[in-house]
Chains A and B, each alone.
Chain A
């Protein structure tokens, strides 16, 4: 399975600022996804990161708040824009390669103060 490196692993940010999270996969993958996990909750899909085109967002998530880039088949970024305390969550990157399972990064723990 693909191995995912996600940076930063955690950060504390001021409200109103933005944070960009990076996701690097050790092999080319067909699909990449971004999830949010609020404290004590399950994972919620934010969007599918499409290589070379705009991401596909799930209901309740918009590009202005969560811009996503995917310049190639091994890398993607998620930006959390104009942050508020409600954005405090764990953000996870996921990838689907040639194997049958989805691989996840270890997540970015974001605290907005």
Chain B
């Protein structure tokens, strides 16, 4: 699976959009971009995934660049409960093993 690079930490103000970048420059054509988050003392939680089109669900939006070498997870109105470690993971298919990198620690401040 392709390797991903994320900033170690970020912060944003409550109510503002949180934009979390991820680089995956070696991604191949059949690999998906998945985002998970881990709130303190909980197991990881699925957020969203995409192949090449932008995706939106009730939790977030995923913007994938046209060359697919990077993506951005957008939490449109961050709340304190969004404080967590966010993981960007590249997978060939949903049957692949999830391999976690170091992720981005997002702190939402009041």
Indicate whether A and B interact: yes
> Chain B contacts of A33 at CB under 8 A?
97-98
Q: How large is the interface on A (under 10, 10 to 19, 20 to 34, 35 or more residues)?
A: 20 to 34
- What secondary structure prevails in chain A residues at the interface with B? strand
B98 contacts A45, C-beta separation under 8 Å: yes
> Chain A contacts of B99 at CB under 8 A?
45
Q: How far is the CB of B105 from chain A (nearest CB, A)?
A: 11
> Chain A contacts of B21 at CB under 8 A?
none
- With A42-B102, A42-B103, A101-B49 already in contact, the answer to whether A107 and B43 are too (CB < 8 A) is yes
Q: Does A94 contact B (CB under 8 A)?
A: yes
Q: How far is the CB of A35 from chain B (nearest CB, A)?
A: 8
Q: Does A30 contact B (CB under 8 A)?
A: yes
> Chain A contacts of B43 at CB under 8 A?
4, 92, 94, 104-107
- What secondary structure prevails in chain B residues at the interface with A? loop
> Chain B contacts of A112 at CB under 8 A?
none
B95 contacts A94, C-beta separation under 8 Å: no
Would you list which residues of chain A between 19 and 42 have a CB under 8 Å from chain B?
30-31, 33, 35, 42
> Chain B contacts of A31 at CB under 8 A?
95
Residue among B36, B85, B97 having the largest count of chain A Cβ atoms under 10 Å = B97
A residues near B, CB below 8 A? 1, 4, 30-31, 33, 35, 42-45, 48, 92, 94, 96, 100-107
Query: Can you identify 18 A-B contacts, CB atoms within 8 angstroms?
Result: A4-B43, A30-B95, A35-B100, A42-B87, A42-B101, A42-B103, A43-B38, A48-B97, A92-B43, A94-B43, A94-B44, A94-B98, A96-B95, A101-B94, A102-B44, A104-B45, A105-B43, A106-B41
B residues near A, CB below 8 A? 34, 36, 38, 41-46, 49, 85, 87, 94-95, 97-103
Interchain residue pairs A-B with the least CB separation, the first 10: A104-B43, A101-B46, A43-B100, A42-B100, A104-B44, A106-B43, A92-B43, A42-B102, A105-B43, A100-B94
